[in-house]
Amino acid sequence: MSQAEVIGSRRSPLWTFGLLRSELTTTFRRWRTLALLGVLAAVPVLVGIAVKIETSDSSSLGGGGGGEGPAFITQITNNGLFLVFTALAATLPFFLPMAIGVVAGDAIAGEANAGTLRYLLVAPAGRTRLLLTKYATTLAFCLAATLVVAVSALTVGALLFPLGDLTTISGTRISFAEGLARALLIALVVAASLIGVAALGLFVSTLTNSGIAAMATTVGLLITVQILDQIPQLHAIQPYFFSHYWLSFADLMREPVYWDDLIRNLGLQALYAIVFGSAAWARFTTKDITA
């Protein structure tokens, strides 16, 4: 047994877990990561305070014009839980993917930049395993970032606004407990929506040895795609943009839930993950590591 352990230690799943754990602690201990999470946590606070001030003279938000600002914003004053949905809708287009872009872009290129990549590869982990660990860490950050936004929004919403039964966007009523469950589900869907960007960022990260270049490219691609998604003439290719179905998470607030776009979104994210994940693997496992 002990002999098997010595020989097999390279391949033991526990070892991979150890690598993942060390990656996770390295990533989440970085000041940069903490600052990103801090900024994300501040967004719901700002939105909540802005809505509170705007409606403090008991006027309704937006003056009845309707439909402006992030989704669900008109409902916040009546139910603080809606701040969770508004905050996610406000951060999903740029803040969240930008944070993911920074972490994913830094994953390989940052190590190469700091000259630590070859030391990582000296450890008997293998490049494929290192890449998988890096991707898992990025996905963990996706989930953490989304949950930070959601929890911060829920806290601010509970402090500033009343809570209680809520009305779905289809006009039916659900209990607060079910509303919370849906909020959690929405947070998970939002986190899953970022899988595509994470894979794209990781692939870009394997292309260069400069962490800054990888981050800038990822965020630049993100902004480009977001802009292209707004141009009506490009409607034929828009369904293939990773960001196209992002706001479909709001469909979870319909009654009954409208699954079509949600499933399309998850399928598209899986496709991006496989295509860019395997491209990253092809690149990283054949790359000359000079730094």
Which member of 19, 40, 43, 71 binds other proteins (CB under 8 A)? 71
Grouping H, G, I as helix, E, B as strand and the rest as coil, residue 115 is coil
Does 65 sit near other proteins (CB under 8 A)? yes
- Total residues at interface with other proteins (CB under 8 A): 43
* Beta carbon of residue 1, minimum distance to other proteins (angstroms, whole number): 32
Grouping H, G, I as helix, E, B as strand and the rest as coil, residue 167 is strand
Does 274 sit near other proteins (CB under 8 A)? yes
* Beta carbon of residue 36, minimum distance to other proteins (angstroms, whole number): 25
Does 250 sit near other proteins (CB under 8 A)? yes
Ramachandran bin of 165, using left for φ above 0, alpha for ψ from -120 to 50, beta for the remaining angles: beta
Closer by beta carbon to other proteins, 38 or else 66: 66
For the chain, list the strands marked E by DSSP. 166-167, 173-174
Does 78 sit near other proteins (CB under 8 A)? yes
* Beta carbon of residue 73, minimum distance to other proteins (angstroms, whole number): 9
Which residue in this structure is represented by tokens 């959690």? 184
Q: Which residues contact 251 (CB under 8 A, 6 or more apart)?
A: 257, 258, 259, 260, 261, 262
* Beta carbon of residue 214, minimum distance to other proteins (angstroms, whole number): 18
Closer by beta carbon to other proteins, 121 or else 213: 121
Q: Count of residues for the chain? A: 291
- Report residue 89 as tokens: 């809708």
Which member of 36, 166, 197, 202 binds other proteins (CB under 8 A)? 166
Does 238 sit near other proteins (CB under 8 A)? no
Contact present, 158 and 180 (Cβ < 8 Å)? no
Q: Which residues contact 32 (CB under 8 A, 6 or more apart)?
A: 102
- Report residue 38 as tokens: 């801090």
Residue 208 exposure: Cα atoms within 13 Å on the Cβ side: 16
Does 72 sit near other proteins (CB under 8 A)? yes
Does 66 sit near other proteins (CB under 8 A)? yes
Which member of 133, 247, 265, 269 binds other proteins (CB under 8 A)? 247
Q: What type of residue sits at position 222? A: L
Q: What type of residue sits at position 37? A: L
Grouping H, G, I as helix, E, B as strand and the rest as coil, residue 166 is strand
Does 163 sit near other proteins (CB under 8 A)? no
Binding part of the chain for other proteins, among 36-44, 149-157, 177-185, 277-285 by CB under 8 A, reads 277-285
Residue numbers of the site for other proteins (CB under 8 A)?
Answer: 60, 62, 64-67, 71-72, 74-75, 77-79, 89, 118, 162, 164, 166-167, 169-173, 247, 250, 254-255, 258, 260, 271, 274-276, 278-279, 281-282, 285-286, 288-290
